[in-house]
Structure 1
Amino acid sequence: MRFMMIVKATTDSEAGVKPTQELIDAMQRYNEELVKAGVLLAADGLMPSAGAVRISYPEPGGKPKVVDGPFTEAKEMIAGYTLIEVKSREEAIEWAMRMPDPHGFGQGEIELRQVYEVEDIMENPESQEKENALRMKLGERNKA
C-alpha cells in the first residue's frame, strides 16, 4: 500500500522561508530511517505558489484556464510530500507520526492519503496492462 504524507504550507513556506539547519538535520535523519526500513519511494519540498500555475477546466470539454500564482489560502497549499510503501494504514500513520514538525515552528500539518493502485481505478485488463507497462518503462528509466 502506498501513502502520501502531504505537508501543508504555512505563511512562512509560501514566503520562501528556508528551513533551519536543525530541521534539515532532523528531516535527513527521518528520511534515513525510512530508507533503512525500505519504505521510502520519494520525498521533496515544493517551491512557493508564487511561481506556480493552476490549470482548471471550467467547462466540460472546454479549453483549460491557466492562472498564475501566488495563491492565497496557505492552509490549502502543499509545501512538500513524502511517498511511502507500507503494509497497512496503521504503519503509514506510525511513520507520519514520527515525522519532525515539517516547518519547525509548531505550525506543521501533515495530511496522510492512500494512493490508488492501478487495479483500484481500472477495471479493463487491457488498460491495466498498458498502465503497468508504462510504469515498468518508467522504473527502467529511473534505474539508468
Structure 2
Amino acid sequence: MGVRLDNVGIVVEDLDAAIEFFVVLGLECEGRASVDGDWAGRVTGLPGQRVDIATMRTPDGHGRLELSRFREPAPAADHRRAPVNALGYLRVMFNVDDLDTVLDRARALGAELVSTEVVDYRGVYRLCYIRGPEGILLGLAESIG
C-alpha cells in the first residue's frame, strides 16, 4: 500500500497575508478556491461551511500547505499562540537553503524568533522556530553538514 503526504492544513484569519508570508518563504501559490456545499460539510462535520482556501506548493513540488479561511462557521478555538509543547498538531518544518535570508524576509512581514537565537545542531543543521502571521509556528532548518 502506498502512502503519500498530500498537504498540511492551517486555518487563518487573513488568507492574503498568509499567502504572502509563505511566498516569502519560497512556496508558490498553486491555486485558490472557495469550498462549500453539502459534501464539504459531510467531510468535515461542519454543515453549511463556507471556506476560502489556497494551496501553497514547495519548489520541489512534493510538499503542500492548504491555507483555509472559514467564512462560516466562525472558528471554534484559537491555538495560534500555544507553546511549543502543547498537545496536537503544532508546527511545520521547512528546510531552506539560506536561513539568514529567509529570516530577514520573514521578519520584514512581522515574523519573530520563538527563542533568541538560531541554534547549531551538531554541525548538521542550523535550526530555529519562528512565529509568522497570526502566530503560526514554523520550524526552519538549513543543512550545514
TM bracket, shorter-chain basis: under 0.3
Name the structure where helix makes up a greater proportion of residues: 1
Q: Tell me which of the two structures has the higher relative contact order, counting C-alpha pairs closer than 8 angstroms and 6 or more residues apart.
A: 1
TM-score (norm 1): 0.28
Greater C-alpha radius of gyration: 1
